[in-house]
Amino acid sequence: MPLPFAIMTTPSFDLGQDHLDLQQWVRQFAVDVVRPAAAEWDEKEEFPWPVLEEAAKIGLYSVDFFATQSFDETGLGIPITMEELFWGDAGIGLAIVGTTLAAASVAATGTESQVGEWVPQMFGSPGDLKIAAFCSSEPDAGSDVGAMRTRATYDEASDEWVLNGTKTWATNGGIADIHVITAVVDPELKARGQASFVIPSGTRGLSQGQKFAKHGIRASHTAEVVLDDCRIPGSCLLGGKEKLDERLAKARALRDASSSGTGGGTRSQPSMATFERTRPAVGAQAVGIARAAYDYALEYAKDRVQFGRPIIENQAIAFTLADMKTSIDAARLLVWRAAWMASQGKKFEAAEGSMSKLFAGETAIKVTGDAMQILGGNGFTREYPVERMARDARIYTIFEGTSEIQRLVIARTISGMQIR
């Protein structure tokens, strides 16, 4: 007799040998190379070029590696990599993976020939390293992408685009070999009137503005990028002019239909769907930080003796560690679910990507804070790594969409209402 329901294939919680090997390989790099260098580069607040070189030598920083993991049919290759690398150190981890956001943008919006041309130039090779920057946020337009002011104007006579404006909070901004810039091409269309451009190395009119002295992730370079009559060939428009013109025409028709009351049905933005599917990778980073703080606090609680016994024998400490472990595992499961759904092309009916990033980011804050509390006064000093982990964790409720934005996305998705 046939079953009255369909059985849905879901990801296994038992990782296959390939994933276990990947996990061990990245973890060993984190143990041998990342952790010994973490405090030094955090203190210097400089980009850790020697560590990136070591990652390139073993193939961890390369086009081939990230492409292979991106095409993993389970979706778990990238989250596993992120968690292990950021378990090593978040600042160095971001220095290693920062280029991938720009590469992902080109892969998502560029033509096949543009992907083949630009993405390899973003990584380079051992001994000749390259890095890339994705530049979207602006001083007056962070979460409000519709308020973006950076303009891109087409010069038909020379087949060039001219860019003017200032980007901020750009990872690798100003020091990158390749910059991917989001700019407005039709102000009347607001967010729908934007396009992305590749700015090659050495292009005149692009310069680094302020480099930010940050609370955490200090080994990752973050700066403003200033565009002053920056001219680039027409071929640097991702997707090409013909595709852009078609998209703008559709956006204008939608706007006109909406204003006349004859249509305008959907307000969905493809870029938002793309961000929704990249958020699990950011959530995995937060899980890695939380797990690192938990691991350290657990061992400390076993070894630290007060009043004649290890402090873990006190329920207050033991229960805190139990809650930390539970939250970390729950966050990882949310991340894995969202990553698997994205790899399968499944629609996020309840904004599962935002759920994973929201919960993982909040977990990282709570767990690193609890770890500091377990260490007491030692946890507040730079002699112990949990102080750095707590500083690094703070950004995960802010960048790639604040916790408030994640809640807004989730609320809108589950309600179908335009909540503000």
Nearest to 105 by CA among 131, 130, 135: 135
Using only C-alpha atoms, the chain has a radius of gyration, in whole angstroms, of: 23
Spatial separation of the C-alpha atoms in residues 420 and 220, rounded to whole Å: 33
Burial class (CB in 10 A: 0-12, 13-18, 19+), 9: exposed
Active site includes 400?
A: yes
Q: Decide if 217 contacts 85 (C-beta within 8 A).
A: no
Whole-angstrom distance, CA of residue 85 vs CA of residue 78:
11
How far is the C-alpha of 152 from the C-alpha of 135, rounded, in Å?
14
Residue 212 backbone dihedrals phi, psi, to 5 degrees: -85, 135
133 beta partners: 179
What is the C-alpha separation between 52 and 59, in angstroms, rounded?
10
How does DSSP classify residue 188?
G
* φ/ψ (deg, to 5) at 231: -100, 130
Q: Which of 188, 387, 400, 404 is catalytic?
A: 400
- The two tokens of residue 3 are 């079953």
Give the catalytic positions in this structure: 400
